[in-house]
Chain A
């Protein structure tokens, strides 16, 4: 796996500014009689050309984080209750609607898990890919069409000239996701968020789509936030990984080191859920129990009810995400112990 673009302290100029940076970002979903704290004071940053994976089980707040960065949280209901998002130094949370619209496409773009529902069923794919170019860049009809066909060829949709006029349901799942990628890349964004881009696809197609995404990322030196709950996809494609649990980032670091030597019991549990990922003979019980109710989270560490190492401290005091090694952070009171216990 290549790690040349990795944002470790050693090979990154100290002053290099992150492309996007979340500072203590908290999100809530308000419904009639309860508030679900979907994301709690998370911090992360993504650099130019880098792939940051967000890994976590269902409901851990991955999509909510993605939507918050995009400013697409459901209204009403989705609220950023705390924190900031900086994009190229510009704060996004308090940006006006009009200002934010200017960022879409050219700076920020997103692709979703289910390409069929992300595409409008009654508009042709050609129109949908070219819509932003036509409406925002005021390209002429012919220019737009030319550019769209280029984009369709770029994402390797065969027979682009004819398929331009077709509708999303006439495409296979993999081709729909290619359409979605072409649509997201139409204006050359600096940051692409891919929210489980291959989860809805066949295994064989998954690999093709990931390869395409990585190739296009390299071409444009895009920052990529790759959301996934698939350890294999993360291992193969990401430079760094942030592990999320119940709205917290519990661990963040370079993929290789995090996977080889987790510094949080939750990550340890994740790794043990796929036997092939572990080379040593350590028997680790896979994670028992269920994630907590976000409307009524446990005290202390959110993971403590499921953690075999939990102590009184864990039940009382919430661990903060702290640096335990260069470029490596963990939110566990016993991070050092986990790390040592686990080293090969």
Chain B
């Protein structure tokens, strides 16, 4: 297990390097001179030139890149010219909000889809199964921002029971988290359902039945754990998507997370913040995947021991 994790760690470093290199390149390809955007429309060419000079933006690209990598290694992403102060500090301030939102959404997704998936698998192609698969497919096909706006209209404008924007209380969290998890529910329901049906065909289920155990006991103790192995893997892969979708959701619900900060910083060409945010998101994504791997080993003993 240890050597496996070390291997994963180096692999992760490589992925982070790839991510920040890409963002370095992309930011310099986006049309629009950052100094010009920063200074506004009535800046003189001299002003723009001197700002570019002081930001190091007129040096050759490879020099900029070398300097950039050295800075990143020191966790120095530069100063945010828009907000003042180190870019990383701003990003870290927003981090807890994004994490809270993403994890609540995952929790919602699990709480909603696991029971639905189990229920659907009890009687494949039965009435419950059909209804569940229809509803979850429907939820999956709705665009997220639209769902968010409709929810705001219903629960904030009409019913007035949930706040439409901002953070600060559990009530603020409900709509964004639900909107975020909605597209994933259908997928997880289907995964759980097909996982259970697949496992029910296995020989060990027959053995369990030949012991005289009750059907429900077999389902929960024998089948579910095996069925969850692929589900956990896919959930791990979905984590990145959760964080990605969170960016849109944060904008819709004015949720003060990294996503909203990132969008605003891109609009203002606040490179330092964008780079810090992307590097951090990549880092989180990788750490989460590592956690999933460990969890996976816990559920499936075959992995736990083989790797040690």
A residues in contact (CB < 8 Å) with B: 70, 72, 101-105, 108-110, 112, 114, 117-123, 128, 131-132, 135-136, 167, 169-170, 180, 183-184
Contacts and interface: CB of A to CB of B under 8 A. Distances in A.
B304 to A, nearest CB: 9
A170 B209 CA distance: 24
| A-B residue pairs, 7 tightest by C-beta | A104-B212, A117-B203, A120-B204, A101-B212, A132-B211, A118-B203, A167-B301
Interface in B188-209: 202-204, 206-209
B213 A132 contact: yes
Contacts of A104: 209-212
Interface centre among A108, A135, A183 (most CB of B within 10 A): A135
B220 to A, nearest CB: 12
Contacts of A120: 204, 207-208, 222, 226
Interface string B292-306: 000000011110010
Nearest to A114: B203
Contacts of A118: 203-204, 206-207
Given A120-B204, A122-B300, A135 B210 contact: no
Contact of A105 (B212, B299, B300): B212
A279 B270 CA distance: 94
B17 interface: no
Contacts of B301: 121-122, 167, 169
Nearest to A193: B210
B226 A136 contact: no
B8 interface: no
Given A112-B207, A117-B204, A122-B225, A131 B305 contact: no
A131 B213 contact: yes
5 contacts: A112-B203, A117-B202, A117-B203, A135-B213, A136-B211
B214 interface: yes
Contacts of A123: 221-222, 225
B11 interface: no
B155 interface: no
Interface residues of B, number: 23
Contact of B204 (A121, A169, A170): A121
Contacts of A114: 203
A167 B302 contact: yes
A286 to B, nearest CB: 32
Interface centre among A128, A131, A184 (most CB of B within 10 A): A131
B207 A169 contact: no
Nearest to B206: A72
B134 interface: no
A169 B301 CA distance: 9
Contact of B302 (A70, A108, A169): A169
B217 interface: yes
Nearest to A186: B211
A57 B116 CA distance: 44
A2 B101 CA distance: 74
B211 A121 contact: no
Nearest to A103: B212
A122 B299 contact: yes
Interface in B204-246: 204, 206-214, 217, 221-222, 225-226, 229
Given A135-B211, A167-B302, 19 more contacts: A70-B210, A103-B212, A104-B211, A109-B210, A112-B203, A112-B207, A117-B202, A117-B204, A119-B207, A120-B207, A120-B222, A122-B225, A122-B229, A122-B300, A123-B225, A131-B213, A136-B211, A136-B212, A167-B305
Contact of A131 (B203, B211, B302): B211
Contacts of B212: 101-105, 132, 136
Interface string B269-302: 0000000000000000000000000000001111
Given A112-B203, A120-B226, A170 B210 contact: no
A121 B302 contact: yes
Nearest to B208: A120
A103 B211 CA distance: 9
A245 B300 CA distance: 42
Interface centre among B299, B301, B302 (most CB of A within 10 A): B301
A181 B96 CA distance: 54
A180 to B, nearest CB: 8
Contacts of B213: 101, 131-132, 135-136
A279 B60 CA distance: 94
Contacts of A105: 210-212
B215 to A, nearest CB: 8
Given A117-B203, A117-B204, A123-B222, A110 B302 contact: no
Nearest to A101: B212
A136 B213 CA distance: 8
A89 to B, nearest CB: 20
A310 to B, nearest CB: 38
A108 B229 CA distance: 32
Contacts of A184: 210
Contacts of B299: 122
A170 B214 contact: no
Contacts of A109: 210
A72 B226 contact: no
Nearest to A98: B214
Contact of A72 (B202, B209, B221, B300): B209
A70 B57 CA distance: 78
A117 B206 CA distance: 10
Nearest to B212: A104
A167 B214 CA distance: 23
B210 A122 contact: no
A274 to B, nearest CB: 30
Contact of B226 (A108, A121, A132, A169): A121
